[in-house]
Amino acid sequence: MSNLIELINENHKIAIIAHVNPDGDSVSSILALGLALKKMNKEVEIILNDSLPGKFSFLPGKEYLVAFDDRKNTQFDICFVLDCGSKSRVKNGEELFAISSNIINIDHHVSNDYFGDINIVDLEASSTSEIIYNVIENDLEVKIDKDIATCLHTGLMSDTGNFTYVNATSRTFYIASKLLEQGVDIENISYHLHQSKSLNSVKLLGNVLESIEFYLDNRLAIISYTDKQLLKYNATYLDTDGMINYARDIKGVEVAITLYEFEKNKVKISARSKKHFDVNNLVNQFNGGGHVKAAGAVISGNLDEVKVKLKEAVKKSFEINKLTQISGEMN
């Protein structure tokens, strides 16, 4: 990656941004890279246009996060775009790219469309945080301290389901072990990620799960929720994080989908699968993207209309791939 190093060494003003609706990997990777570049005495602005989810408030470097409108610089030599499959997933992206001389795209999504001037896309990586580890360790040659290690380890844990998903490889575990050598506090990370849910978010979960629907011989599970439910429990969209896993983890279910109508006739969908189904191919039909087993999209229509579209698309995929016996195989 000599071009990357030369570009960084020759320039000073750097922006770092990730996708809308930040998750553990996106937040962790932008903070880790930002902290590393600051060690190189670069003028770095880490841009986050959404509210930082509370469970990530423990991450080192969060004090450097700024909204696009609050940035200091009007021009950037380099803009790093992390964990983002396309430009359309970047809030204020058009404005930011217009004032950036070089775009560096670092990602691990199979749906990435290689939009950068430099593209570092590793489809075998468990997470963008795994790629950033390699960039910091091998290319920037910056010492990874406890703060950077804490961010990176949080990203690894977030995108591998605590190292339980198939994307956690021997390389992932090796990197995790090297990060632990820097004194990462796993108990503290686990507490914030999994053991500090608000009471209202748990009540919302219970309410939403009461209306879970099953189709195609219980191989497809769909969860729907609305702003009305969020308001009832004084919750936000961020409180729905992880809700889809309850549907996916039911025995016999191969595909789980959540539907959220965030504005009139606009439905945000998240899709997850177990062994046999490619949800990235599914959401590609609706201009979405992601991974084989985790993907998302925004679809026009109300909840009922979108539900019908998805049921038909999943059914067709089952038929094409001859997945008619999945339920029995998994029992």
CB 155 within 8 A of CB 23: no
**pLDDT (0 to 100) of residue 114:** 96
* 172-212 residue pLDDT tens: 999 999 999 999 999 999 999 999 999 999 999 999 999 99
CA distance 175 to 172: 5
Fold classification of 199-330 is: Diaminopimelate Epimerase; Chain A, domain 1 (3.10.310)
**pLDDT (0 to 100) of residue 88:** 87
Q: Mean pLDDT over residues 265-276, rounded? A: 93
**pLDDT (0 to 100) of residue 2:** 65
CATH superfamily, with its number, for domain 2-194: inorganic pyrophosphatase (n-terminal core) (3.90.1640.10)
CA distance 24 to 58: 12
Burial 47-62 (b: 16+ CB within 10 A, else e): bbbbeebebbebbbbe
CA distance 229 to 94: 33
Q: Which residue has the higher pLDDT, 275 or 137?
A: 137
Q: Which residue has the higher pLDDT, 146 or 87?
A: 146
Sheet holding 294-300, edge to edge: 213-215, 220-225, 255-263, 266-273, 294-300, 289-290
Tell whether pTM > 0.85.
yes
Closest of 272, 239, 278 to residue 258, by C-alpha? 272
* 78-113 residue pLDDT tens: 999 999 999 988 988 999 999 999 999 999 999 999
Q: Mean pLDDT over residues 20-35, rounded? A: 95
Could you tell me the residue ranges of all domains in the chain?
2-194, 199-330
**pLDDT (0 to 100) of residue 328:** 38
Alpha-carbon torsion (279, 281, 286, 288), positive or negative: positive
The pLDDT confidence band at residue 136, using thresholds 50, 70 and 90, is very high
The pLDDT confidence band at residue 236, using thresholds 50, 70 and 90, is confident
